[in-house]
A = this chain, B = another copy of it.
Amino acid sequence: MLFTSLKDVVNNGPNFLPQLSIDCVIFGYHANQLKVLLCQLLHSDQYALPGGFIGLQEDIGDAAKRILAERTGLTQIYLEQFGTFGQPQRTDRQTHQRTLEACGIPYGPDLWLLKRFVSIGYYALVDYQKVVPTPDVFSGSCAWHDSHALPPLLFDHAAMIEKALDMLRLMLDHKLVGFNLLPDTFTMGELQGVYETILNQKLQRTNFQRKMLSLGILERVEKKYGGGSHKAPYLYRFDTKTTPS
């Protein structure tokens, strides 16, 4: 189910579950900012979360993974459902009509895409450096945005990001998901930076370090003395053998 054009998607309506979509809040961490991946809609000032539809026989989680892979180039991604959005007025016909008209795609009044949609939200935590942002058929570009300075967003996508952040904060302690935002190896300071950015509060360094090390899930990587300073901080790696599920 890889579509090459908006027209291709429009014509494939009967192959999707009706009136149900998926939207993904993809979080990355860079330069002490929590970033969100957004696509700018064709012929519009609005931005949208990467999203898509579900094949008639496709698992909803598999659909989310497919959408994430298409937008980021990554296949092994940490993702979690965070809520399903179903207010009757959350989507509107006019937005899609404008896009279809601007793209010169003919449509009838009963087009599947113009109906009310309920959307299942997934948030994903990715290694910022590994992502190759790739626009979908609804958008001209796809790029990272600071979660504190978001551009105008489609439908209820701003509320979706807010809800995803709430859930991420709740899960941060519970499942220690923060690691997924870092490269394979990282310093304790970088890890603390991720937590402080997401929680939006300063943490006490020695307490943070003690807590993280006490969990027994961080492996210290041997220092390389290839000309670097002896004072270079230790690097850690997430010990996958003991990763809690």
Contacts and interface: CB of A to CB of B under 8 A. Distances in A.
A116 B170 CA distance: 32
Contacts of A56: 116
Contacts of A116: 17, 56-57
Interface stretch (A83-91, A209-217, A222-230, A235-243): A83-91
B60 A84 contact: yes
State the copy count for this chain.
2
A219 interface: no
Nearest to A83: B81
A202 interface: no
Contacts of A17: 19, 116, 118
A19 B57 CA distance: 12
Nearest to A90: B59
A83 B118 CA distance: 14
A194 interface: no
B54 A86 contact: yes
Contacts of A170: 170, 174
Given A84-B81, A170-B174, A20 B118 contact: yes
A18 B14 CA distance: 13
23 contacts: A17-B116, A18-B19, A19-B20, A20-B20, A20-B118, A54-B86, A54-B118, A57-B88, A57-B116, A58-B88, A59-B88, A60-B84, A60-B86, A60-B87, A60-B118, A61-B86, A81-B83, A81-B84, A84-B84, A84-B120, A118-B120, A170-B170, A170-B174
Given A54-B118, A60-B118, A61-B86, 19 more contacts: A17-B116, A17-B118, A18-B18, A20-B20, A20-B118, A54-B86, A56-B116, A57-B116, A58-B88, A59-B86, A59-B87, A59-B88, A81-B84, A84-B84, A84-B120, A86-B120, A118-B120, A170-B170, A170-B174
